[in-house]
Amino acid sequence: MAGKVKGITIEFRGETTKLDKAIKDVNKETAKLDAELKQVNNALRFNPKNTELMAQKQQILTQKVDATKDKLQALKAAQKEMAADGSVDKNSAEWRDLQREIITTESRLKHFEGELKKTTMQSKRLYRLGAAFKDVGGKIEAAGQKLRGLSTAAGLVVAGMGAVTYKAGAMADELNTLSKVTGISTEDLQMYAATADLVDVSVEDMARAHQRLKKSMASDSSAKYFEQLGIETRNADGSLRDVNDVFDETIVALGKMENETERDALSMALMGKSATNLNPLIEDGGKTYEKVTKMMKKYGLNPISQEDLDKANEFNDAIDTIKFIFLQTVQIIGTKIAGYLVPMIEKVVQKVAEFAQKFSGVSGETLAKIGAIMTAVALLSPALILLARSSAA
């Protein structure tokens, strides 16, 4: 930001300080939190249902939300101060610079709050699932002890195979759907997904940014932005270059920009609002994507073919069909049982009504006496037990 804006004195966290110092402190805190969050996300890749790791992620995201709120508060305080004393022309570059910084910070706050909400929901689901399994496990533990050794080995194998197959089917369905929506091949999406996991961004955001960049390449109004980054969008014959290559070069070029505000504005102009969520990827400068590519080549790994994805997708569709049939069957059975029980329930209702009619004619004094007798009976058993224990003592 410009010098006059940086030098504004504001009230920040209960103290009077310069705006640039306040922003610097918040950015330093956020950088530390980003580093720690990356470690937690890497650990979750190998143990995604670990409640301790989920709790740590939730705590870090909460701190990121708080820090971003502080930054936004500081920026708005500076905006208010400038508007009050008229020290800066609202048509000046430094005023526009401050407005862009506020908009960018608001977008980041919204993104972090969304991530925190999603993480909180995941933590709650894990807790409920764990509680449910614990309850069921307690009820069947006695029966399972007799076959514990064999059951454990067989169960682990079957459950592991089933979980892997089910997860593969769900992943194939998601990839195929995302590919149809964005026009990006499933092979490219798999590479993006691997990179996204490592730098803590969403593959959906990467796909949306990729899709928007493709439109920008064909737009004359966006040519100046590519030129500013030093990126060619067309081949020698005038045809558009491969969008994957342009996307990679754009991420690298943006990562080299020192002015964070200008970088965010340029990335949004080329890749839309989703670009604000790709800051970790941009700051990484494409190193992780290159690392994933080299790792795949080193170990002879290839993305899953479209044919194999389609087969896994068919399995997922079959599972969905089974779920639907099961739910419909339960509904039909429940409806038939309910119809059969109606006459029985009507008889119960009739008996209750008759009982109520008989009691309605009893006087209040009589009802009070009955209540007293029932209270005495209720207290009789505990009293006798206490008396017996006292005598034994």
pLDDT at residue 50, rounded to an integer: 84
Look at residue 385 and tell me if it is in a domain. no
Residue-wise pLDDT for 343-373, tens only, equals 777 777 677 667 666 656 666 676 666 666 7
How large a percentage of the chain has pLDDT more than 70? 64
Residue 281 near residue 199 (C-beta atoms within 8 A): yes
Q: Is pLDDT at 65 greater than 80 in this prediction?
A: yes
371 assigned to some structural domain: no
Domain count, the chain: 2
Residues 300 and 214 placed together within one structural domain of the fold: yes
Is 260 within a domain? Answer: yes
Structural domain that includes position 65? 3-140
Residue 272 backbone class (left: φ over 0; alpha: ψ -120 to 50; beta: rest): left
* Same-domain pairing of 129 and 231: no
In a domain, 145, yes or no: no
Rounded distance between C-alpha atoms, residue 246 and residue 215, angstroms: 12
Q: State the pTM of this model.
A: 0.38
Instruction: Give backbone dihedrals phi and psi of 18, rounded to 5 degrees, phi first.
Output: -80, 150
Q: So what's the pLDDT on residue 230?
A: 93
- Which tens digits make up the pLDDT trace of 376-389? 655 655 655 665 55
Last residue of a domain, one of 285, 304, 323: 304
Does any domain span residue 68?
yes
What confidence score (pLDDT) does residue 156 get? Answer: 39
Q: Where are the alpha helices (H) located in the chain, listed in sequence order?
A: 3-6, 19-46, 51-85, 93-144, 148-182, 186-199, 203-217, 223-229, 243-255, 260-271, 279-284, 287-298, 306-360, 364-392
Among candidate residues 118, 66, 122, 114, the one with its CA nearest the CA of residue 273: 114
Q: What is the pLDDT of residue 248?
A: 86
**pLDDT at residue 113 greater than cutoff 80:** yes
Are residues 183 and 264 part of one domain? yes
Biggest CA pair distance of the chain: 107
**309 in a structural domain:** no
Given 88, 122, 140, the domain boundary residue is 140
The CA distance from 156 to 66, in Å, is: 42
